[in-house]
Structure 1
Amino acid sequence: MNNTFNMNRFGLLLKRQWLEFGKIYLISLVVLLGIVVGFYSYNIPSPFKESNFDYNGNLDMRFRYPLFLILGFVFISIVASSYFNILAHKSRAILELMTPASVFEKFLAGVIYTALISLFSYLLIFYLTDLTFVKYLNGHLNAFNHQDIRKVESITYEVFTDEGYRKYCGYFFAFPFLITSIFLLGSIYFNRFHYIKTALSVMIFIGLTVYMVVKFSMWIMKDKVPYHHIGQNHEKDWVLLLLLLITSVVTIIVWTITYLRLKEKEV
């Protein structure tokens, strides 16, 4: 089939992919919800706990931030790593490759399911769970017997009302898409143990990159006197902006490689 895009055919492809991919995806959402609820139930402040407050005297809800980041990485990477793994099985791969849709349509469907739907689903589940527990805590503040206890805010409210949070979230906007693009490529590039091999490849690549950057910095600074000055905010903004551009460009490059790899499978 020629590499064209037809909206009706693409819509049918999305429905077909949902029949194949949706069952596993819905199960993963149920598991995700159970994990988030379990972590919240165990870690939220309780009148029966000795330590309920942070260093500012507020109810300690700091566990939400590492939970959000770590669990989010694991969830979207697993979803992306399982999308094209059907191509590793010859009998099932033939049926998949014979699907009457262009390579671009199949690739675009993969991006939508792994980069958009998975990310939106994770944010929605985390938001609803967090909001539920926050409302529960705010309805039982009197049980803590603390005179100056403050109302707990949802993590979404804290992010969108704080200028610093909004700015940093904007600079790191491309990171979820970079993660899903890498593991989506791994799902079609490796024939077995897609997630493990992709994760190991990423770790090795990051390790080599850090090593080369450190060695290059040591070579540049050799026999030179370091000069320290007070960093300006605009300098930090330029670094973060550069990070956003790099992650965006790398994401597009990885998606391009994934498309070419899928095209090779079709051949």
Structure 2
Amino acid sequence: MNNTFTLTRFGLLLKRQWLELGKFYLISFAVLFGVIVAVYGYANYLIMDAHRISTSSADFRVPLFFISGILFTTIIASGYFAHLGQKSRAIFDLMIPASTFEKFLSAVFFTVVLGIFGFLVIFYVTDLVFLTKLRDWFMSTEKAGDSSNLNNFFPYFFNQEHERLPIAVFISPLLLTAVFLLGSIYFERFHYIKTALSVLIFSGLWTFMLFKAGQILFENKIPISRSQHFVQTKDTAEALVTFAFVTLTLLFWAIAYVRLKEKEV
């Protein structure tokens, strides 16, 4: 098969993949929606049943967002090429009349664009509905007090004022999906478990190496003009982490593409 990219052929491939994977994605979105609604519903019950309302009543959303987001996106990415471990399905899939590059772009579309965007839509819509209900209940009770404090108690998740988040935070979902997409190609069985264990082991080793390197370089050293260079040091560290995340994401995607190409040989 010609490895050049053809838009028409790529569109047909996306349609074909949706016909095959659409049911799996719809079920996954339904499960995700059910879990998020269940957590929100339980939290809302506790809030309405409480005798005191505080500004931390809705703080459960931050850990819920990160935990559910990491689990959902990594599971989606880990399952995309999982069928390559089954010879009968692998042969059929590898014989699809599309280039390796188009198949890889299709994987990126379904895991990154559809997976991450779908999660954000479901989470934000759920947050909007439940917070609107809580706000109405809040205003109807005697506890409401000054309505101008409404945003202090129940701010919409996507409308909260946060400190500027590092760019690496927004790149991390791409990095995670790239790692688990590679794991779905590299491992033949138990893709998610093996990839997750690999990530934990390598992350632990990397953290330990950085910690020891920091000890060796800065132990018993006296900082000079610390206050003047703190901002510059922070910006430099953020830029380095962002560069590392982007580089690793592109690297894992490149390795995944090469591994997929090797499967077709």
TM-score (normalised: structure 1): 0.91
**Preserved CA contact (<8 Å) 2:85 2:189:** yes
Query: Cα distance 1:262–1:246, how it changes in 2: closer, same or farther (>3 A)?
Result: same
**Preserved CA contact (<8 Å) 1:47 1:143:** no
- State which drifts further: 78-87 or 15-24: 15-24
Q: Which runs of structure 2 are paired with 1:37-48 in the superposition (5 Å)?
A: 37-44=37-44, 46-48=47-49
* Cα drift, residue 43 of structure 1: 1.2
* Separation in structure 2 between the aligned mates of residue 221 and residue 163 of structure 1, nearest angstrom: 32
Who is 2:158 aligned against? Answer: 156
Who is 2:250 aligned against? Answer: 252
Cα RMSD between the aligned structures? 1.7
Who is 1:108 aligned against? Answer: 105
**Preserved CA contact (<8 Å) 2:69 2:119:** yes
The structure carrying a bigger helix percent of its residues is 2
* Cα drift, residue 68 of structure 1: 0.3
2:64 partner SS: helix
Q: Which runs of structure 2 are paired with 1:103-252 in the superposition (5 Å)?
A: 103-141=100-138, 142-143=140-141, 145-148=143-146, 150-151=149-150, 152-158=154-160, 162=161, 164=163, 167-168=164-165, 170-222=167-219, 224-227=220-223, 229-230=226-227, 232-252=230-250
**Preserved CA contact (<8 Å) 1:46 1:144:** no
The code of the aligned residue for 2:110 comes to Y
* Separation in structure 1 between the aligned mates of residue 122 and residue 168 of structure 2, nearest angstrom: 23
2:170 partner SS: coil
Who is 1:83 aligned against? Answer: 80
Query: Cα distance 1:134–1:72, how it changes in 2: closer, same or farther (>3 A)?
Result: same
**Preserved CA contact (<8 Å) 1:181 1:254:** yes
* Separation in structure 1 between the aligned mates of residue 166 and residue 118 of structure 2, nearest angstrom: 18
Aligned partner of 2:64 among 52, 59, 67: 67
Query: Cα distance 1:144–1:237, how it changes in 2: closer, same or farther (>3 A)?
Result: farther
TM-score (normalised: structure 2): 0.91
Gap runs ≥5 in structure 1: none
Who is 1:263 aligned against? Answer: 261
* Cα drift, residue 234 of structure 1: 3.8
* Cα drift, residue 143 of structure 1: 2.4
